[in-house]
Structure 1
């Protein structure tokens, strides 16, 4: 059995590694289980929950994850309590994605922990780097958002639809755009219902 500690160390440090070097991790991929989950009727909550527990690294109580969803591994995704993930949520989870409690994610969002070098000479054998993503409690992510490697989205924040999040977002902030920028803080004035 080969010692893969050097490759794992590079992965943990966000340094470049190749598909071939990381292939020893393939048994951690849950592609068949993800396929089975996506083919399971929405009304079969018990079966869907059992599959999620086998797919994800950890999953909290009262989790809703609508089909279809996609995951590179699945086993590197950790979801807290009271999570709602809408259709077409994609986890590119070569390293950990940690999602807190009370998080809502709208349709067609991509959370990608992995990127590739700019220069084509460095992209042979799908060379890449990976950095974890953290989404803290009570975050709401709008439709068609992309969250890039190494990003932390702080407690209670809102990410506007169509945004590309390339840097950390502080707690209780509204961020939007390409690239996403903080446009304002969330305050008690936001406790008023919309339209009033």
Structure 2
């Protein structure tokens, strides 16, 4: 049975710290490693049975990610540290090798296209060596708007935000805020121009 975020927030101090972005020690926690073990185990099962038992794979995915909207599609393999705290809008498509590292809140809007081998990271480890060695870290939420297209191998770093309709070029590393209606590329990812009003490659396509 998938963990219920509301209940965990009420009963587990480590989970509360994780999703509030407060300092916590994952490696010394009694509950967080178990939650990631369960999520990763479910992902492994989904990946194994996806093509042979698609209905069961979809059921497991919905149980793992209760915040997934109607019409969300994905292709294996997927690998999530937590399913709780993740929301995915309706009709979003997630291509293969999707990876989410760490907990904290992640919002993905509706009608997004997530290319292969994309990664979303929410945790920041301590900057000073002693605190980092002691396992201190904290999460920063990530927000991806609606109708966003992430090219292959895009990495979204803690605290990043991408506005509606924007396109992130393949291999980019998003470390800050990308405004809506933009095309952005690079490491670190920067806006190179606004979206065009129309794409000439599709000039002959009749609107539905």
Q: Structure 1 length as normaliser, TM-score?
A: 0.87
Deviation of 1:127 after TM superposition, in Å, equals 1.8
Structure 1 segments unaligned to the other structure (5+ residues): none
Please show how residues 13-32 of structure 1 align to structure 2 within 5 Å. Answer: 13-20=20-27, 22-29=29-36, 30-32=39-41
Distance 1:9 1:149 in 2: 18
Task: Give 1:76's match in structure 2, choosing from 81, 85, 89.
Answer: 85
Q: Structure 2 length as normaliser, TM-score?
A: 0.83
Task: Give 1:191's match in structure 2, choosing from 167, 188, 199.
Answer: 199
* Residues 14, 129 of structure 1: 8 Å contact kept: yes
* Distance 1:193-1:145 versus aligned 2 partners, 3 A rule: same
User: Which deviates the most, 97-106 or 20-29?
Assistant: 20-29
Structure 2 segments unaligned to the other structure (5+ residues): 1-10
Please show how residues 1-196 of structure 1 align to structure 2 within 5 Å. Answer: 4-5=12-13, 10-20=17-27, 22-29=29-36, 30-42=39-51, 44-188=53-197, 190-193=198-201
Distance 1:12 1:49 in 2: 26
Deviation of 1:195 after TM superposition, in Å, equals 9.3
- Please give the secondary structure, in 1, of the residue aligned with 2:177: coil
- The RMSD of aligned alpha carbons is 2.2
Aligned residues: 192
Structure 1 segments (4+ residues) deviating >4 Å:
7-10
Distance 1:195 1:125 in 2: 58
* Residues 151, 167 of structure 1: 8 Å contact kept: yes
